[in-house]
Amino acid sequence: MSDVPPAPRTRPIDHLRVAWLLVLTQFGVVPIVLWLVISPVLCPLFRARQRRRLRRDADAPDDPPPPDQQAWAGRTVFVVEGEASGDRMAAPVVERMRAMCPGLRVRGYAGAASAAAGAALDRDLVDHAVVGVVAVIRSIGFWWGVCAETLARLRDEPPDVFLTVDFPGLNARLARWAKRRGVRTVHLLSLIH
């Protein structure tokens, strides 16, 4: 005879609780709740660390050599911005790329500032930027369409460079899809607000 006590008898409510936890974990609710609890402590620490790094690395790097204009003639850079701040941040980059390589095609999902700088707009995502859970849920159909359209574009006419600007909720996924299809990706973001 062994000294191991018998397993306690489970009740249906025990199984329901385990199933509920699995459902919550599947939908990512548990990590989100944990982040909401931990982030007020960790975010200020990460920001302070980043500020120290930026002060330490304050020396600007040398400008890279100018690109070979002939090598970039006829190539395409696809830009994805999702909000007005990204549009303002990307417009000077688009303008500079177009000035350095006049034969370069810059197109994508951008805003009015990037269009004024020389980007051809396939969609104006800046007008569709949303904040808040309810607004995101209401616009899920639009964003679903953007993702499907991007996958089709990456398949049918892949760009030479896929430039994403801030807006990580969408852009991280789109860049991952582009990279899987062999497209070079660059992400432009602001570290200081």
pLDDT higher at 127 or 111: 111
For 98-115, what is each residue's pLDDT tens digit? 998 889 999 999 999 999
Q: Rounded to an integer, what distance in angstroms lies between the CA atom of residue 189 and that of residue 168?
A: 9
Categorize the per-residue pLDDT at 7 as very low, low, confident or very high, splitting at 50, 70 and 90: low
Mean pLDDT of 23-49: 79
Q: What is the structure's pLDDT at 143?
A: 84
Mean pLDDT of 45-52: 85
pLDDT at 57 over 60: no
For 135-147, what is each residue's pLDDT tens digit? 877 888 888 888 8
pLDDT higher at 107 or 67: 107
